[in-house]
Structure 1
């Protein structure tokens, strides 16, 4: 079971953990944020089209392109966690948000942040999402 780690975003301290189903990999992985006073909890679910039995792509690192360059998105790295939390607080919530908030498609939020994914499944490569 993952333990909460501390992170400071815009001068405010939060706790976070990234977990995934390490038994049969059938459930989406998720990132949990909570304020240190426990008045706010955010749950962000991830399900990649590149999901394979026995592999959690956001735990191992999923190749993406952002700002024209390659990047490996890994939800265990604080830089991605801070970027997601900062975005949620600034554009989806607000400084006075309270309660439990659930976002079912973290992949869409990563797209809003400018990440574009491709994944390999067997010998084929696919776009993780078609552009509108």
Structure 2
């Protein structure tokens, strides 16, 4: 078995797609639109097999979770950028571009080298080596 994809509801479909394409080298599919349901989406592919589906529908309510507090349920996704050097560089680039870095870069107790940042819609991303 393998993880095929995770899905994220978004208010700004084009903006979130651009974020993952620009900073994480994702390749976006053609936009899918279902006018009858008011639904649009993109699949984002990375070097590995797992993908992210970005979805937009105006009827979906805003998330009420506080991005600064941990809670049960899906809490973050980790994207490996290949090296500690790449973690440092991407973290600095995101910070310089105004994105919030919540933690790191640092080595965790279980040996990961990572930083934690928020994407434009406050989803937590672990950037790992």
Q: TM-score, structure 2 length as denominator? A: 0.28
Q: TM-score, structure 1 length as denominator? A: 0.28
